[in-house]
Structure 1
Amino acid sequence: MKPFVPVFFMLFFFVAFTNIQVCLGDCDNLQDTCPAVPPNKQTIFINGLQCKNPVNVTAQDFRTTELSKAGSTDIFGASVKIVSAAEFSGLNTLGLSIGRTDLDGNGLVNFHYHPRATEMIFVTKGGLLAGFVDTKNQYFQKFLKVGDVFVFPKALFHFFLNIGFEEATVFSVYNSQNPGFVSLSSTTFDTTLESLDKIKKRLISLSASEAQHVTGFISPEVESIYS
């Protein structure tokens, strides 16, 4: 005979599990807007940013020019700018950040991930190769052109590689007001021009093979590319 389960226990679990709020990205905001106080003016620290006094909120809080120009490029020939709520106060509590990536011809955004956000990209100039590796060591990649959209799931290593001779530009949206950015350390591999060219050729070779599973492609170090 099956053990008797009191009705109130069944009711308790039903109420508990039907009332749990799941946060996809950051949790929902509790008011219409909450433009942030600049971090250097904060007097208290919370999981997020303080809100301005509502009487001081203006339309300018919801506008930014941070992505109007490309930034300076790194050793890989790439520039990555992420604008979070810390730089764009109107994003505070909305669970969003935005970004811009510019790549020189043959430029590379090295393998990296965002611990708190999924990233969706939109190509506005040039063509590039984009790919990511999941936790089962499966490799997903696609050649993208102007107008294409691609998504990188939360906290998975991914990269961009400009496969053309002209500059490429990509705009990104993240489902967190503070997505974070974790990249492979420059001490993980040799950063000479010869080594960087070898890394790029290996990425293109993997893409040409259209392999969906890469033996030895070990996350998070991505050893098969940098060995």
Structure 2
Amino acid sequence: MTDSSSNERQIQHVTNYQDLVSTPFHGEVNAICWKRELKGDFAEIVNSIALKDNITEIDTAELLDLKLSEQGQLARETLLNDLKVLKENGASPSLNLIKYYERDDAYPLFPTDVYSYHVDRSPVPTNTYLCTYYGEPSDILPNAQGIQKVLVPEIRAELKKLHGESDHGFEAFLTEYFFDLHYQAKLDAIPISLGVGNLWRLAVDHPESKVPPCLHRAPIEKDGKTRLLMIC
């Protein structure tokens, strides 16, 4: 049985930007969180921008052009500051209004969309930063509470059918189509919500990483509520 009291051992909490970007991952720690109670009306920003698609990226110029109340201006200041600080630290943040992500219907037994627990991979050292300002937050899963989907017998059998009868090149096939990045939660798993307003840094699978990559997923949107998410 999973011990909920030790469920967050992989998380280190910090209280400022500098510690968020500079604290090294170590041991079991592959997620760093700056827990924040943000001021301002982020719903006003969401409602002030017309959705162009299921995902609409908001640039700085568009944010600055919005006519907002005092509370809306406070929210905008937070967004602009988060984008600025992350860019100054070498990240490439994107601020998005998300109605929904595309679902992977091609492989119903082993979907590879972002609603599935997955890790991020990069050929060079990097991090994943994210913050949900409005709407449903993402969640993460302790690595010990997930199993790589390609190791689940029935899934692996179906993937072998998809690949063909020969085992030659099978592992490369799993990597090429990103099947190896996805995980299934164990029956006693306890996901950890990333919450609203908190700024997170998650470990990525890259050649120089000293810790396992962080398992995370996007939430299923509720009641058609648009999310406001910064990610990079």
Calculate the TM-score normalised by the size of structure 1: 0.30
Normalised to the residue count of structure 2, the TM-score between the two structures is 0.30
Q: Greater Rg, structure 1 or structure 2?
A: 1
Report the structure, 1 or 2, having the larger helix content.
Answer: 2
